Amino acid sequence: MKAGKVWLVGAGPGDTALLTLKAKRLLEEADVVLYDSLVGAGILSLIPTGARRINVGKRAGRAVMTQEDINKTLLNEALAGNKVVRLKGGDPFLFGRGGEELELLAQHRIPFEVVPGVTSAIAVPAYAGIPVTHRDFCSSVHIITGHLKDDNKPHMDFEALARLGGTLVFLMGVGALDYICDSLIGAGMRSDTPAAVLEKGTTAAQRRVVATLHTLPEEARRHKIGTPAIIVVGEVCGLAGKFHWAEDRPLGGARVIVTRPQELASKLSDKLSKLGAEVLELPAIKTVEIEDNTALLAALGRLKEYSWIVFTSQAGVDIFFRTLICYGMDIRTLAGIKFAAIGTATAEAIRARGIAVDCMPDKFDAATLGKALAAAVAPGERLLIPRARIGSPELTAILNQHGVPYDDIPVYDTVIQSSPLPLADIVETGKPPYVAFTSASTVRGFAAMAGGVDLSKLCAVCIGEQTAREAFAHGMSPVISDEITIDSLVDKIIDLHNAAKAG
């Protein structure tokens, strides 16, 4: 068997948007991913469901797997012919033991590549408003590991560090904060030198404490700073008060779970990310086209019988027109047929095909669409409704009530997804995130993914009353967007986030 290959990949400091394009592509192509505990949940969610995930994280001296076993696992997986991604927080060659992991691979002539990542030593201070160099204060930056040795003291030459005159960045040094500050002062550095400790940098949970070398340990304890965090020492720390920016964005400090199907998630995720939110895509459902759909093909063969085609989702629009083309037809065969859409997103998908929408209700739900159609359809006109196999019964119930003839054709199934991440860690650790729901089916899918996780602390931001009722039924606290649009959903999250900050 031909040996596989290993990619040593830097995941960056936490913000998913800081992952490199190459790293993202490799994750999507991987057979196996070995990841550290410092890799952000948003980045882990990018790993395809077909890839095996192996948690090899280490934190605070506790290891899921020893370094020797990690090295052997990389070798064995590559020998088995797999594409192996070793995903490490920050940059793999900056205190990441990346060199050690390549030694065994090199000995066995296993091909490998190194993909650098954005290091927390630069990115975390930047997100806190601290430039690690500034011509008015310093011209150098020095990155030091603050990791404790066996004698519970970092081994470094503090006198040399005190003489450098540049910015000092200590990674993995929070446990030795008192010792580092005292030692720098003892080595001759001014006790009033600005210093900062930065926790969970580049994520929604990031915090900064800026003080002096003398007061920083006590201030860190007062604010209960935990790990992961880095220490920055130097005059540039004093600039954080006027250069801070990350938390000033409309959704800075907010975590939002997006549950839309993968093919629809990007629009919502992009809007939230641009406003500063930490976005975690966890598609709760997947639309799967019904194969060999004889019912739809039969309907296409008798299109002249229909006066209306009614769409209740973008997925329905996409599948219908894709099948139309595969059947050897195009939009010219739809001449004279009127079109109805449940809402703006579905209407946009229809208009993208060069077709006008003749009926769209003011309120975007199945019941209101049924009432609008009952009023618009002339006697004798027949409807074709290509939609999910399990569609809302409210639409057809109202059509039946008004005697409107129709053919309800299933074109796709809605399949509940399994969670690629332990939802308990996301929901129950730290500040509970907002969860954006665009349909009742996404609520049901998310609840199924969550299993027995308590969802009562979650704020479910919902499009439509039906979606909100489903969220409430699963123990969540639902809030309904003012309008049934993605933009209104985003605006509602902003309102809630502003209220939380003010309170």
Catalytic residue numbers, as ranges? 36, 58, 172
Backbone angles phi, psi at 57, to 5 degrees: -65, 150
Residue in the block written with tokens 């997006």: 258
CA 16 – CA 18 distance, rounded (Å)? 5
Per DSSP, the three-state class of 167 is strand
CA 81 – CA 427 distance, rounded (Å)? 37
Summarize the chain as % helix, strand, coil (round to 5).
Answer: 40, 20, 40
Backbone angles phi, psi at 188, to 5 degrees: 110, 0
Using alpha carbons, list the distances in angstroms from residue 388 to 54, 85, 273, 369, 416.
36, 37, 30, 16, 13
CA 193 – CA 234 distance, rounded (Å)? 6
Complete DSSP assignment for 26-73: HHHH-SEEEE-TTS-HHHHTTS-TTSEEEE--EETTEESS-HHHHHHH
CA 307 – CA 327 distance, rounded (Å)? 20
Q: Which residues contact 20 (CB under 8 A, 6 or more apart)?
A: 10, 12, 115, 116, 117, 118
Cβ contact 470:455 at 8 Å: no
CA 395 – CA 401 distance, rounded (Å)? 10
Residue in the block written with tokens 């064995």: 76
DSSP 359: B
Using alpha carbons, list the distances in angstroms from residue 425 to 298, 433, 454.
49, 11, 11
Structure tokens of 341?
A: 């859409």
Count CB neighbours of 338 within 10 A. 20
- Please name every residue paired with 85 in a beta bridge, in sequence order, or none if there are none: 7, 33
CA 347 – CA 81 distance, rounded (Å)? 47
